[in-house]
Each structure stands twice: as structure tokens, then as C-alpha cells.
Amino acid sequence: MIYAILTEQNIAKLFLAAFIPGLLAAIGYVIVISIYVRLYPESAGTRPAIAWSERLANLVKVWPVLLVFGLVVGGIYGGLFTPTEGAAVGAFGTGFIAWMNGGLDRANLVDSFMVAARSTAMIFFIVLGAGFYNGFLALTKVPQELADFVVSQGYSPWMVLALILAFYLIFGCLMDSLSMILLTIPIFFPVISVMDFGLLSLIDMQADAAMEVLRNGVPEGMGAEMLASIQEAIATGTELTRDQMKELGIRVTEGRVNRIETEYVAIWFGILVLIVVEVGLITPPVGMNLFIINAMDRKTKMIDTYKAVMFFVASDIIRVILLVAFPFITLLPLLLLY
């Protein structure tokens, strides 16, 4: 959400774009755990087998959580409420479930209000500070000057992206994710936004729009000559003329394609940054989360924690490489629903 505020992107689209990368993370971790316990069977421990009837009975107990999740996500993408309103619905739903289960009495309710108030105040102060910081950057024009410099040097967009992600991976070991995003996104985002990654093509978008119209039948009043010229342009990969688009009733201009691509790049870059920053937090030797994890079990040596986490780091790095090499893995839900 902080990234969406800083870059003025649609929160619902960012949530949707994170779906496939999140699914890849889950699959990757399952594979990593499966490999690790086969290499080191003693690390997993053993327990008696559980009957399927008991498993299904326990699964039923989690249905309220799934119900709230479905209500919030379905409501957001169904247009029933905004992401902010969805958060309120989710808070009310979880609170109601806690009350029904007897875990939410008056004292707990007051405590939850106080914790929510403190967290909200903290977040608003952070956003306020980020606003001052962004104002300073706007006045000094540092991001714009940096973006102009990078473009003028003719660097490859993919090289620039790789260097930025490497920066996040390294400094993610030293700083918490929120600080990293607040301090660096206002500088790096303008650079990325002017890079041409070639995610969309004007000719391809025109051809797709034209074929969608023609699949529903030839528009009324279109002559055979105009139809033949349109079909030839599609077949040869030629840009449609203004008259051809007018006959088809479509409007796919270079400006519109650039606006869509800029939004896609912003969403794709945001997902990559959030993943890499979190990977940095578990990357040896100074990933901050490693010390938190190790503190939970003093009997485990730090070197053993380093060895074990490298399997997960490798999984995440492979996932990042896939998302960089194939941007449409991230953007596929947006292409299907928008």
C-alpha cells in the first residue's frame, strides 16, 4: 500500500498482480522444504499419521477465515467497495468471528482499539515524513536529473533494472523494508518509468483491437476495399491509419499505449522491489530477520540458520529471475481482467 501511495498506482491492481508471484513463492517453498527434509530427515521431526476424517474436520474450522478473505477480495474486485473499505470490512469480519468464538471481550476490544490507533498514528507520521521527503526531491529535481542522465547515457533498461534490484537485495540486509521503500522509491521510480522495456506494442494492440471487432462481424457501412486494407495491415504488421481505426470504431494511439505501458511497468517494478527487499531481509550474513528467527531457538547455531535459509533464498532468486525475464507472469491477471 505504501508503494501504491508513493507511485500513485491502483492498490487493487497491485494486489491482483501479486497473486501469481505469491503462488510461485508458495510452490517454490514447498519444493524447497521437500528437498531439504530429504537431505536432512532429522530436521523435520516425526508425528503419528492423522486420519483424513480428522483433517477434514480441522479444515472446516478455518472456514470463517476463508469467508472473510473471499468477502474482502471478492468485494474489492467486484466493485462493491474500495480497498480501504475492504480493510474495514475485513476488520469487522474478523472481530465478529473473535466475538462469536468468545475471544473478544470488552477488555480485548479496548486493547485492540488502542493498538490500532497507535499503529495508524505511526503509519500516518511515516507517510507525512515521506511527503516532506518527496517535496524536497521535487524541489531539487534529483529524480528527474537522475532519470535524464540514465537515459542520455544509453544504458539498457534491463541492466538498470538488474542494478536496482541488486541494490535492494544488498541493502535489504541492512535496513527494514518500509525504510528502504520510503527512501529509495521516490528516486528509482522516475528512472524506471522512463525506461522502454517494450512490454507493449502499438501495432500489436491495434491488431488485437481490430480482430476483436472483426470477430463480431464486419462493421456496418465498411466497404470491401477498406476491409481488405485493414486485413492486409494486420497480416503485414503495419500500423493502422486514423481512417481505418475510425471505420472499426477503435482508438488505439501511441499515447494511450505509452500510458498503459507506464502503468504496467510501475506495477511490475513494484512487485519485483517488494519481493527483493523481503529476500534481502533473510539473506546471510546480516539479514535482519535471520537474527529474529535464530533468537526464537537459542539451541540452533547461527551458521545452521544461514545454511538452512540459503535454500529459500535460492528459491526466491529463481522466482525473481523468472518475473524479470517474463514480465507477463506478473501482468497476466491484469491483462485478463482489465
What pLDDT digit, counting tens, does each position of 161-219 carry? Answer: 998 888 888 877 777 777 778 888 888 888 888 888 878 777 888 888 888 888 888 88
| Residues 259 and 334 grouped into a single domain | yes
Q: Which residues contact 93 (CB under 8 A, 6 or more apart)?
A: 67, 68, 71, 72
Q: Give the number of domains in the chain.
A: 2
Whether 189 is in a domain gets the answer: yes
| Residues 266 and 169 grouped into a single domain | yes
Q: Supply the DSSP string of 144-168, one letter for each residue.
A: HHHHHHHHHHT--HHHHHHHHHHHH
CA dist., res. 130 & res. 136, Å (int):
10
pLDDT, residue 77, reads 76
| Residues 314 and 222 grouped into a single domain | no
What's the pTM? 0.77
Q: Supply the DSSP string of 106-127, one letter for each residue.
A: HHHHHHHHHHHHHHHHHHHHHH
- Calculate ∠ Cα 287-122-263, nearest 5°: 70
pLDDT of 37 over the 70 cut = yes
pLDDT of 310 over the 70 cut = yes
Whether 284 is in a domain gets the answer: yes
pLDDT of 103 over the 90 cut = no
| Domain span holding position 6 | 1-43+142-196+253-338
| Residues 330 and 231 grouped into a single domain | no
Whether 304 is in a domain gets the answer: yes
Location of C-alpha cell 534491463: 158
pLDDT of 338 over the 70 cut = no
The set of cell numbers assigned to 305 is: 540458520
| Residues 329 and 243 grouped into a single domain | no
